[in-house]
Amino acid sequence: MARHTYRCPLRWSDMDAYGHVNNVTYLVYLEEARVSLFERMDLASPLETGVVVARHEIDYKRPLVYRSEPISVDIWVEDVSRRSWTFGHRIHDDAGVVYAVASTVMVAWDIAGQGSRDLSEAERTQLLTLTDEPG
Amino acid sequence: MARHTYRCPLRWSDMDAYGHVNNVTYLVYLEEARVSLFERMDLASPLETGVVVARHEIDYKRPLVYRSEPISVDIWVEDVSRRSWTFGHRIHDDAGVVYAVASTVMVAWDIAGQGSRDLSEAERTQLLTLTDEPG
Amino acid sequence: MARHTYRCPLRWSDMDAYGHVNNVTYLVYLEEARVSLFERMDLASPLETGVVVARHEIDYKRPLVYRSEPISVDIWVEDVSRRSWTFGHRIHDDAGVVYAVASTVMVAWDIAGQGSRDLSEAERTQLLTLTDEPG
Amino acid sequence: MARHTYRCPLRWSDMDAYGHVNNVTYLVYLEEARVSLFERMDLASPLETGVVVARHEIDYKRPLVYRSEPISVDIWVEDVSRRSWTFGHRIHDDAGVVYAVASTVMVAWDIAGQGSRDLSEAERTQLLTLTDEPG
């Protein structure tokens, strides 16, 4: 699996008083894409063994209005370090219109010790299979 | 007014299944700080004349757990351009513990024309009064 | 169409700090089911011609935990009056486990006049086709 | 303490695409009022010893628009049974305008056994001090 595309359903309530999907809600879509990816990865779930979000960068390209068809959230791995990695994301529709691009830095977390930890070899290997950015 | 500090009340439901304030919700706190600032500015509200969020960068420093006392969201102006400006933010408690730092690029928006527009002189002047980063 | 079943995707963030879908979020699922129904109805959308929520009753039957498969939200019409009607709802999974039952009173709304209005004949006729409760 | 009034801050994002506070969000205000009440009660917190929401009834009286001043959420106890009790709520502003009234049935919960439990005498005593409906 070189990358993952999550088909993300919108909710009517994702829109704010301006009648557009609120900028904050795009981050919920990124979260849903990560959750979807973790579920598919052939690995004890990082969600269970511990991972935290350390940083987001997001550029908004176009306003998005509620519609019943899902939007696509591409997710891939931009970089892997000893204790962290970076997800790239692109939110787009089927016509290729891009609504946002984003990067998220994730840190492997030791839940018991409440601090960062090294990525396991299995985690690193899995993440490296996701390093192909969509063309 | 050299900068603005918004005392942001948390909600119990800001926490996710990990028992911490969800990373996405921090962006809601930034939004509340902007709304609070716009209300105080001596200026026809940019909220009404048009402004959109173009970009966020946020670094998470510490997990945050619900408590009944508000947290503080400092907001100041990092940079002003012809059609956009950048807000700096720091989320912290009264003891000086920092939970996140963030930058948000805002673009002046022409609602009728659905495109960016130049900042008015009054807007620019107001924004320039907010360029003192908290020490 | 005698009734409508909306397949409602959950979001991981629907869970609260107790690790269950928050009770408030069930109401979002009801909203999504209504929106889905309005989109399918052969009628100028009540969403556009005006409708407001006047009352909810909801009984929670079981805790619900995030999973990637949607849950089902049955929606039907319990009663139609001159200016309002009542939706019945049942939230359940494919195994027949029921998580909540609810009733929602909707009022036809005159957006210009900011008051209730009579249902049109077309609206009434459409609503009456939805009066079969699921068995 | 005969009853409790929670001063509930609104958030701009509480509004939906109609420009009003979304009907679902009122239930968040009820939750905040309960949390605030539990924090003030002279009792090991039911939030920690276990309590779940079993039912809501809510009647919407008027649309509510974001403003920077908090709204008031009155909360009192309508009824106490062996394993459950009912909260009454009234959401209003300082001018006495009522936006919603609601009742919520809470069930004492045995977290370990995952079932309902009897209220303790201390819990019952505390709840009975809250049975004065606001006039």
pLDDT reported for residue B41: 78
CA proximity to B65, closest of B7, B5, B12: B12
What is the least distance, in Å, from the CA of C114 to any CA of chain A?
A: 18
B80 touches chain A (CB under 8 A): no
Per residue in D88-97, is it b (16+ CB within 10 Å) or e — as a string? bbbbbeeeee
Q: What are phi and psi of A46, to 5 degrees?
A: -55, -25
Of residues C46 and C120, the one with the higher pLDDT is C120
What is the least distance, in Å, from the CA of C11 to any CA of chain A?
A: 7
Confidence category of residue B73, pLDDT binned at 50, 70, 90: very high
CA proximity to A63, closest of A6, A9, A25, A102: A25
Chain segment D47-82, per-residue pLDDT in tens: 566 889 999 999 999 999 999 999 999 999 999 999
Touching chains, C (3+ CB pairs < 8 A): A, B, D
For the record, the structure tokens of D66 come out as 């974001």
Which residue of C11, C32, C68 is in closest CB contact with A28? Answer: C11
Q: Taking CB atoms and an 8 Å cutoff, what residues of chain D touch C54?
A: 59-60
Q: Give the predicted TM-score (pTM) of the model.
A: 0.94
For the record, the structure tokens of D78 come out as 């309508």
Whole-Å CA distances, C117 to C50, C109, D19: 9, 5, 20
Contact A84, A105 (CB under 8 A): yes
Whole-Å CA distances, D59 to B126, C57, D28, D76: 43, 9, 15, 17
C81 touches chain D (CB under 8 A): no
For the record, the structure tokens of B96 come out as 């000086």
B57 touches chain A (CB under 8 A): yes
Q: Is A122 helix (H, G, I), strand (E, B) or coil?
A: helix
d(CA A104, CA A57) in angstroms, rounded, equals: 6
D116 touches chain A (CB under 8 A): no
- Among all residues of chain B, which has the CA nearest to that of A26? B24
pLDDT reported for residue B38: 86
Q: What is the ipTM of this complex?
A: 0.93
What is the least distance, in Å, from the CA of A26 to any CA of chain C?
A: 13
- In percent, the amount of chain C with pLDDT more than 70 equals 90
What is the least distance, in Å, from the CA of A56 to any CA of chain B?
A: 5
Residue C53 has pLDDT above 70, yes or no: yes
Q: Which amino acid is at A96?
A: G
Lowest mean pLDDT across A23-27, B19-23, C54-58, D36-40: D36-40
Chain segment D9-55, per-residue pLDDT in tens: 999 999 999 899 999 999 999 999 999 998 887 655 555 668 899 99
Q: Which residues contact D45 (CB under 8 A, 6 or more apart)?
A: D38, D39
CA proximity to C70, closest of C47, C92, C43, C103: C92
For the record, the structure tokens of C113 come out as 């006049």
Contact C108, C47 (CB under 8 A): no
Q: Which amino acid is at D108?
A: A
Q: What are phi and psi of A99, to 5 degrees?
A: -100, -30
**Beta-carbon pairs below 8 A across chains B and C:** 22
Contact B16, C16 (CB under 8 A): yes
- Among all residues of chain A, which has the CA nearest to that of C34? A12
The mean pLDDT of C78-107, rounded to a whole number, is: 97
Confidence category of residue A110, pLDDT binned at 50, 70, 90: confident
What is the least distance, in Å, from the CA of B113 to any CA of chain C?
A: 24
Q: Taking CB atoms and an 8 Å cutoff, what residues of chain A touch B31?
A: 22-24
The neighbour count for residue D61, using CB atoms within 10 Å, is: 14
Length reported for chain D = 135
D52 touches chain C (CB under 8 A): yes
Confidence category of residue A94, pLDDT binned at 50, 70, 90: very high
Residue C52 has pLDDT above 60, yes or no: yes
Chain segment A46-75, per-residue pLDDT in tens: 555 688 999 999 999 999 999 999 999 999
Tokens 């998220």 locate to A104
D38 touches chain C (CB under 8 A): no
For the record, the structure tokens of B73 come out as 């969201």
pLDDT reported for residue B122: 85
Residue A85 has pLDDT above 90, yes or no: yes
B15 touches chain A (CB under 8 A): no
